[in-house]
């Protein structure tokens, strides 16, 4: 399920991202997407490819990874994100939900650390 007001488009900073044609209220589920789960061995192989930038750690012990279908892998990172994501390991899905009002035309972002208000540096900023 993906809300019909969502679309992806080019961004200046990151290549492309997810945007909305309509304002969206806080607490709105934007997307529920299935994921393809892979094991630790697959993760090592994926880490050597471009897909590394689009996978999520997966499982209670974070010893697996997944590729999310839908738009999930196109949401850009922000420490001031307007959305959060939730992983359902039993159903193999990721849900995206707004945490505040999102204006028409605004880019939808998530915090890659997994906690929408975390200031913890994410993998591509750690030196």
Tens digit of each residue's pLDDT (9 = 90 or more) over 8-59: 999 988 889 999 999 999 999 999 999 999 999 999 999 899 898 889 999 9
Question: What is the C-alpha to C-alpha distance for residues 38 and 46, in angstroms, rounded to an integer?
Answer: 10
CA angle 9, 123, 17 (to 5 degrees): 5
| Spatial distance between the Cα atoms of 50 and 29, rounded to a whole number of angstroms | 28
**95-124 pLDDT tens trace:** 999 999 999 999 999 987 766 565 666 555
Q: Which domains does the chain have, with CATH numbers?
A: 6-35+68-110 (2.170.270.10)
pLDDT of 116:
59
Whole-model pTM: value is 0.86
Strand 93-98 to 29-38 pairing: antiparallel
């Amino acid at each position: 399920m993906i809300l019909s007001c969502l679309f992806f488009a080019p961004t200046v900073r990151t290549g492309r991202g997810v945007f909305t044609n309509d304002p969206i209220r806080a607490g709105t589920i934007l997307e529920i997407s299935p994921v393809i789960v892979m094991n630790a061995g697959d993760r090592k192989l994926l880490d050597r490819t471009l897909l590394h930038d689009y996978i999520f750690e997966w499982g209670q012990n974070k010893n697996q990874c997944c590729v999310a279908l839908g738009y999930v892998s196109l949401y850009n990172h922000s420490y001031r994100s307007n959305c959060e994501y939730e992983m359902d390991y039993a159903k193999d899905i990721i849900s995206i939900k707004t945490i505040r009002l999102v204006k028409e035309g605004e880019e939808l972002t998530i915090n890659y650390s997994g906690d929408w208000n975390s200031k913890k540096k994410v993998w591509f900023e750690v030196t």
